[in-house]
Amino acid sequence: MANSVLDPLSRRYRFVGSSLATVVYIFLLAPVVVTIPMAFGPTNALEFPPSTYSLDLFRILFTSDSWLLPLYTSLKVAIFSTCAALFVGLPSAYWIARYEFLGKLLISGVLISPLVIPAIVSGLGIYLYFAYIRIGGTTLSLVLGHVMVTLPYVIVMIIAGVQKLDRNLEFGAELMGANPIRMFFTVVIPELVPSLISAAFFAFLLSFDEVIISWFLTGSDTVTLPVKMYSALEWEVSPVIAAVSALLTALSLLACIVTIGLRKSSGEEVS
């Protein structure tokens, strides 16, 4: 095997490399990990490590309207915008991946653009636009704004999924007499399930964590959890934020595990 004869020199390099990498891993993970014990700390002080442990912060989070309503708004917006992004993204991503057509570059460029346009620009623009068409501050405006942000990711992920499919499967189905719609539902969608699940997870999480666009779009009764958290961090750092953070981290961990699990299971099917 290639790695059986390591000369001392390269072993030393490896050791240095691994040590440096470990430091970076710690740096990356520290902010994720720190919030967990804090979430179980006391309600009157932010300290690490907490002097006492309890579930009080979660109790406050789940009983006070000032946190519960944003949580509820965020869930609602995330669910609706994820569904909408999938509904829009699935057929268009399939078509973009499979066919050449007039204006393809233009429309795919526009759809992908929110990925690279600074969020503050989109946020300000959508604020001005929605104020003009008088839907600013509504849940609908949040859902639409979040569709704009999540759609590019959904499209990119589904295009990657479609490119891995065997084209003959789709063509064979059409040759056997299936019309394009029937073919899409009986061949493409079942084959795309893993990509769809990870796209949905990603879109949900993205919407649930979205700050900047929401910062421009929330009205007084449609404050999302991240916006609430952002203002709380800006003005008075309340210990409840630790509980919210732990909740968000748990959600990220779940999404992360699902993604890796899906990638692994689909990878195993290939080999």
Partner 1 sequence: MHGRNASNGEAIALRGISKAFGSVTVLKDTELTVNKSEFLTLLGPSGSGKTTLLNLISGAIAPSSGEILLAGRDITRMPPRERGIGMVFQNYALMPHMTVFENVAYPLRARREPSEAIRRKVLDALDRVGLNGFDDRKPRQLSGGQQQRVGIARCIVYSPAIIMMDEPLGALDKNLREQMQTEIKRLHHELGTTIIYVTHDQEEALNMSDRICLMKNGEIAQLGTPDELYFRPNSRFVAEFIGESNLLPGKSIAANSVAIDEAEAVIAPSSERGLGSDVLVMVRPEKMHICAPDADPPAGHNVLRGVVEAISFIGGMTRITVKTAHGVSVTAKIISGPACTRPELGSAAKLSWSPTESVVLNG
Partner 2 sequence: MNRSIDLKVQSLFMSPAALVAAGIILPPLCYVLITSFQGDTGPLSAYKLIVESSLFRQTLATTLGVASISSVLSLILGYIVALHLARQHPNRRTVLMVLILLPFWTSILVKCFAFTIILGRHGIINNLLSWASGFDVQLPLVLNRVGLFVGMTNFLVPLVVLPVLASLLAIDSTLYRAASVMGAKPARMFWTVTVPLSVPGVVAGLLSVFVMSLGAFVIPALLGGPQDQMLSNLVDFYNRQVLDWPKASAISVILLALASIFIVPMALWRRRKI
List the interface residues with partner 2, window 84-103 (CB under 8 A).
87-89, 91-92, 94-95, 99-101
63 class by beta-carbon count within 10 Å (0-12 exposed, 13-18 middle, 19+ buried) = exposed
Choose the binding region for partner 2 from 56-64, 66-74, 127-135, 189-197 (rule: CB under 8 A): 127-135
CB of 71 to partner 2, least distance (A): 13
Neighbouring residues of 10: CB distance < 8 A, sequence distance ≥ 6: none
Site for partner 2 in 42-81 (CB under 8 A): 46-48
CB of 203 to partner 2, least distance (A): 12
The item of partner 2, partner 1, none sharing an interface with residue 45, based on CB under 5 to 8 Å by kind, is none
Nearest Cα neighbor of 192 from 211, 164, 216, 217 is 164
CB of 106 to partner 1, least distance (A): 22
Q: What is the DSSP letter of 222?
A: -
Nearest Cα neighbor of 77 from 223, 235, 201, 264 is 223
Query: Which residue's CB is nearer to partner 1, number 2 or number 176?
Result: 176
Choose the binding region for partner 2 from 29-37, 52-60, 74-82, 190-198 (rule: CB under 8 A): 29-37
CB of 221 to partner 2, least distance (A): 19
Residue 111 binds partner 2 (CB under 8 A): yes
Query: Which residue's CB is nearer to partner 2, number 193 or number 260?
Result: 260
Neighbouring C-alpha atoms within 13 Å toward the C-beta of 241: 18
Provide the mask over 229-248, with x wherever binding to partner 2 is found by CB under 8 A and - wherever it is not. xx--xx--x---xx--x--x
Can you tell me the distance from the alpha carbon of 32 to that of 208, in angstroms, rounded to the nearest whole number?
17
Q: Are 224 and 142 in contact (CB under 8 A)?
A: yes
Burial 139-168 (b: 16+ CB within 10 A, else e): bebbbbbbbbbbbbbbbbbbbebbeebeee
Residue 249 binds partner 2 (CB under 8 A): yes
Query: Which residue's CB is nearer to partner 2, number 123 or number 222?
Result: 123
Q: What is the DSSP letter of 218?
A: B
The item of partner 2, partner 1, none sharing an interface with residue 191, based on CB under 5 to 8 Å by kind, is partner 1
Beta bridge partners of 137: 218
- By CB under 8 A, name the binding residues for partner 1: 166, 168-169, 171-179, 182, 186-187, 190-191
**Whole-number Cα distances in Å, 61 to 5, 84, 229, 241:** 57, 29, 12, 9
CB of 201 to partner 1, least distance (A): 21
Residue 32 binds partner 2 (CB under 8 A): yes
Beta strands per DSSP E along the chain: none
Q: Contacts with partner 2: how many residues (CB under 8 A)?
A: 86
Residue 172 binds partner 2 (CB under 8 A): no
Q: Are 150 and 218 in contact (CB under 8 A)?
A: no
Can you tell me the distance from the alpha carbon of 32 to that of 37, in angstroms, rounded to the nearest whole number?
11
Residue 256 binds partner 2 (CB under 8 A): yes
